Amino acid sequence: MKRKRVVILGATGSIGDSALKVARDIPERMEIVGLAAHRNAAKLAVQANELRPEAVCIVAAAKLDELRANLHYTPRIFAGETGLCEIAALANAEMVLIAVVGTGGLRPALAAIEAGKDLAVASKEILVMAGEIVMKAAAARSVHVLPVDSEHNAIFQCLESGRCLSAPTAGGTSRGADAAPTLQGADVRRLILTASGGPFRETPADQFDSITVEQALKHPTWNMGPKITIDSATLFNKGLEMIEARWLFDVEMARVEVIVHPQSIVHSMVEFADGSVLAQLSYSDMCFPIQYAVTWPERVPNSLAPLDFGKLRQLNFAIPRYDDFPALNLARRAGEAGGTLPAVLNAANEIAVSAFLEKRITFP
């Protein structure tokens, strides 16, 4: 069994924390060779001192002295946006986990692709605003782009099980049976993304103006960072995931749908041409999709809790409230239009979320 050498961009965030849990859980299969953070130098130093990666990066250069002062060994140290691209292209790395909040992961993702590194993508924004660019670059370099979002990882697993994935070629070449997979579309009727519905799925729309930041940050099933938690409350996250699915699996937007599933046990489903549906189930823990992205195409035992079907009293599904949560239709329109519109939509959302978190506007 071979260890995958991984660089984590966004190491001090919630996805980074989960990735480090995976590395501790399956050390024989995952080795951290690089860690990068935006500005949390103290936490980055703690992580680095434990795992001893060969390189670290702090994007906020003003935090460089703090990082150096707290390190107990002498790794290579990068800083700034340029440093983020440099660590993404680290010679000893095989995979780069992109877990940078917002659009900041695009340049390092392209740098990693250019250096021939496989990508594990948790930052959906890079595919929303530049999906065509990223996927074309990956195909040209025969680089794997593997989903870390639980929903897309679930779809990926369902498509594999349904034997609806094939290895693409770039310039007539392929990396073989384990090359980055793409969808063979004729066999698939729908990709169905599940959404918890967020904390306000049953809240009347006329009460939205009174929703506080504190209420919006209490997600019913997932423990995530503030930006993605607000996106989940508005269902904008699910809208972005629709566009992400369009590019990851090279499928038109008309075949990407959303269903509300409050328990967050079924992470997504695929309906095939014959009417059969495959689903992927697990508890709400990002360690599951992160591990599969790292160990794919193999499955590896771990310490994560298996589903206890005796305790699953019910699994509910419902159609989203499209009129009250307009993000879904806005995302569909942007995805269908293509071009720069998804990037504009994503930028507008980032501004709105920031304003809401700073209490300058009401619930978006």
**Are 97 and 204 members of one domain?**
no
| Position 282 in a domain | yes
**Are 316 and 195 members of one domain?**
yes
| Whole-number Å distance between alpha carbons of 295 and 289 | 10
120 C-beta neighbours (distance < 10 Å), count:
27
**Are 193 and 117 members of one domain?**
no
**Are 245 and 341 members of one domain?**
yes
SS3 for the chain is: CCCEEEEEECCCCHHHHHHHHHHHHCCCCEEEEEEEECCCHHHHHHHHHHHCCCEEEECCHHHHHHHHHHCCCCCEEEEHHHHHHHHHCCCCCCEEEECCCHHHHHHHHHHHHHCCCEEEECCHHHHHHHHHHHHHHHHHCCCCEEECCHHHHHHHHHHHHCCCEECCCECCECCCCCCCCEECHHHEEEEEEEECCCCCCCCCHHHHHHCCHHHHCCCCCCCCCHHHHHHHHHCHHHHHHHHHHHHHCCCCHHHEEEEECCCCCEEEEEEECCCCEEEEECCCCCHHHHHHHHHCCCCCCCCCCCCCHHHCCCCCCECCCCCCCCHHHHHHHHHHHCCCHHHHHHHHHHHHHHHHHCCCCCCC
| Position 104 in a domain | yes
Domain count, the chain: 2
Write down how long the chain is: 364
**Are 140 and 219 members of one domain?**
no
CATH code, 97: 3.40.50.720
pLDDT tens digit string along 209-253? 999 999 999 877 777 788 889 999 999 999 999 999 999 999 999
| Position 165 in a domain | no
| Position 168 in a domain | no
pLDDT tens digit string along 51-84? 999 999 999 999 999 999 999 999 999 999 999 9
**Are 141 and 211 members of one domain?**
no
Q: Which domain holds residue 242?
A: 186-296+304-357
Among 149, 174, 195, give the residue marking a domain's end: 149
| Position 166 in a domain | no
Among 149, 166, 199, give the residue marking a domain's end: 149
**Are 127 and 48 members of one domain?**
yes
Per residue in 189-207, is it b (16+ CB within 10 Å) or e — as a string?
Answer: bbbbbbbbbbbbbebeeee
For every one of its 364 residues, what pLDDT tens digit does the chain have, with 9 covering 90 and above?
689 999 999 999 999 999 999 999 999 999 999 999 999 999 999 999 999 999 999 999 999 999 999 999 999 999 999 999 999 999 999 999 999 987 899 999 999 999 999 999 999 889 999 999 999 999 999 999 999 999 999 999 999 987 766 654 444 333 444 444 556 667 899 999 999 998 999 999 999 999 999 999 987 777 778 888 999 999 999 999 999 999 999 999 999 999 999 999 999 999 999 999 999 999 999 999 999 999 999 999 999 999 999 999 899 999 999 999 999 999 999 999 999 999 999 999 999 999 999 999 998 7
**Are 192 and 317 members of one domain?**
yes
pTM: 0.89
**Are 289 and 346 members of one domain?**
yes
